[in-house]
Structures are given as structure tokens and as C-alpha cells.
Amino acid sequence: MESIVMDEMFIGRKASRTQLVTEREVLIFAGVTGDLNPVHINPDFAEKSIFKKQIAHGMYSVSLISAVLGCELPGAGTIYLGQEINFLAPVYLGDVITAEVEVLEMNIEKNRLKLKTTCTNQENKIVAEGVATVKPPKVKAL
């Protein structure tokens, strides 16, 4: 767990996390959010869908981005202001997703950062891409 203040930021600073997506994660995510869409939880339904196989919730990938923002860069004490995300490709069970954030813009006066947020699978294909806006901690929270 990190806690990185504006003074330590620079354009291009990056952090990432990598997560294997299994049926277990997808079912827990479905249960806790109530998103029981059958393309995520029913293999028979998913087989007949455009995706051909069960896929993870798009918001699961975005939650991995959020985890990097909240735990790594900037980390503890961060205030999440906004997120734009485009879903570019499906995430299948067994995929290994790397969520990366990279500082794009620093507004020191307003203590605000914009970060490029990207989720990539094990074939280096971008599955989701966008921009996050956050306030880093004013003083180190840890």
C-alpha cells in the first residue's frame, strides 16, 4: 500500500496490478453487485451469445483500475473524482488482466491528477481504456 502526494508525482509515473480472472471472481462480483446477467454466470447462455463464452463484468476490470488508484498510485488518502472508460474487448475466464495507471496531467494548484487507465490481457490486447481524475492525498496517509 502506497500513499503518494503531489510533490512526488511526475508526468509518466506508472503503477499496475495483474489479476487472473476466474469463475470465482466473476461469481463473487455478480453476487455482491447483483449483476446476474447470464452472459457472466451461465455458460449455456454465454455459448449462444456473441461472446461464445462466459465473460467477466466490464466493471470488474474498472475495479482493478480503481484498486491501483486507491492502493498504489496515488494510494491511501486518494479521493476518486471521476472515471471515463471504454470497453474495447471482452474479458474471458482464465484471462490475466493488467490494470495500469499513468499520470497524464498534474494540476498542482487544485491538487488534481488525470491518469491514463488501461486494462490489457495476456495477449497484450487492450480490453478497456480511459482516463481517471483523482485528488492525491495532501499529506501521506500512511
C-beta separation of 137 from 3 below 8 A: yes
> Among 4, 25, 6, which Cα is nearest to 109's?
6
Q: Do you find a cis peptide bond into 38, omega within 30 degrees of 0?
A: no
Nearest distance from residue 83's CB to a second copy, in Å?
5
Nearer to a second copy, 78 or 118 (CB): 78
Report the distance separating Cα 67 and Cα 101, nearest Å: 10
- Closest separation in Å from C-beta 7 to a second copy: 19
Shorter beta-carbon distance to a second copy: residue 84 or 105? 84
**Site for a second copy, rule CB under 8 A:** 1, 17, 19, 25, 28-29, 31-40, 45, 49-50, 57-60, 62-64, 66-67, 70-71, 75-87, 130, 141
Backbone angles phi, psi at 41, to 5 degrees: -120, -5
For the chain, the maximum distance between any two Cα atoms, rounded to a whole number of angstroms, is 53
Residue 13 or 130: the one with the smaller Cβ distance to a second copy is 130
Least distance between a second copy and beta carbon 124 (Å): 21
Q: Report the nearest approach of a second copy to the CB of residue 69 (Å).
A: 9
Nearer to a second copy, 10 or 139 (CB): 139
* Strand residue runs (E) in the chain: 14-20, 79-87, 96-107, 112-120, 126-135
Nearest-approach distance from CB 32 to a second copy, in angstroms: 4
